[in-house]
Amino acid sequence: NLSLSKTFGPYDKARRRIKKKKRKKMKHEMRNINRRCISLLFVLFSLVLGNCVVQASRARAIADTASLPSQVHLLNLRRHMIGSTAPTCTYNECRGCRYKCRAEQVPVEGNDPINSAYHYRCVCHR
């Protein structure tokens, strides 16, 4: 093996030099690629983490505001029930309510009021 490399001396040395340069260049490119990958992964991770934080805070704010109207609605229902029974609606009158009431037709399904069935609901006017 050594005897063969000595016979191809200058050609073999040039080939080795070229390979060495290519290896150096590849190592340098790999370093750049590694830096790019690490920085890209860092940016991606920070975006995902920021998105999770924002969604968690929005969900908490929505939960806080969603509970308030339901509590107010329950208080209003209880206030209407004091001293009376729940109003019952028939075709043309409301019974059991102390205020001026009127029975109104309300569609059972809110999507298509023309083709849906109706029921009557008491609408109290103060």
87 C-beta neighbours (distance < 10 Å), count: 19
- CA–CA separation, 57 vs 23, rounded Å? 51
Structure tokens of 124?
């109290």
Look at residue 111 in the predicted model and tell me its pLDDT: 64
Mind listing the pLDDT tens digit for each residue in 2-37? 555 555 566 677 777 788 877 777 766 767 777 788
Mind listing the pLDDT tens digit for each residue in 58-112? 766 655 555 556 666 666 665 555 555 555 666 556 666 656 666 677 767 666 6
Of 103, 110, 71, residue with least CA distance to 87 = 103
